[in-house]
């Protein structure tokens, strides 16, 4: 289950909730760590990673190269290279 709360510029808030049967969510923290939430049919679990490279390797292990590359690209696009600084050789390892 997830809850999404949006604060639109015109004030107020929008709340949506739903169920994720299978998938993942990555949440960068303010102290440069990454929370990986895995939604599975057997239950959900959470892992904390100290650096971006560790996160991508774990996503690659769980979900494969294609999904790991998508996660890397989306985080870089959304948060910029500041969040993922000094991690230039991500999935090539």
3-state secondary structure of 29: coil
3-state secondary structure of 70: helix
Residue 15 lies in a domain: no
Q: Which phi and psi (to 5°) does residue 36 adopt?
A: -110, 120
Q: What pLDDT, on a 0 to 100 scale, did the predictor assign at position 93? A: 46
Distance, first Cα to last Cα, the chain: 34
Domain span including residue 53: 22-93
Domains identified in the chain, total number: 1
Q: What is the pLDDT of residues 59-81, one digit of tens each?
A: 999 999 999 999 999 888 887 76
Cα-based distances in Å from 29 to 20, 48, 76: 22, 10, 15
**Does residue 7 have a pLDDT over 80?**
yes
Residue 11 lies in a domain: no
Residue 14 lies in a domain: no
Q: What is the pLDDT of residues 14-49, one digit of tens each?
A: 999 988 888 999 998 888 899 999 988 888 889 999
pTM above 0.75, yes or no: no
């Amino acid at each position: 289950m997830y809850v999404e709360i949006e604060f639109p510029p015109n004030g107020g808030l929008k709340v949506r909730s739903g169920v994720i049967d299978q998938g993942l969510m990555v949440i960068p923290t303010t102290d440069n760590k990454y929370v990986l939430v895995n939604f599975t049919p057997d239950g959900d679990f959470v892992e904390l990673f100290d650096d971006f490279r560790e996160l991508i390797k774990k996503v690659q292990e769980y979900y494969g190269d294609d999904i790991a590359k998508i996660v890397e690209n989306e985080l870089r696009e959304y948060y910029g290279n500041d969040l993922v600084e000094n991690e230039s050789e991500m999935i090539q390892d």
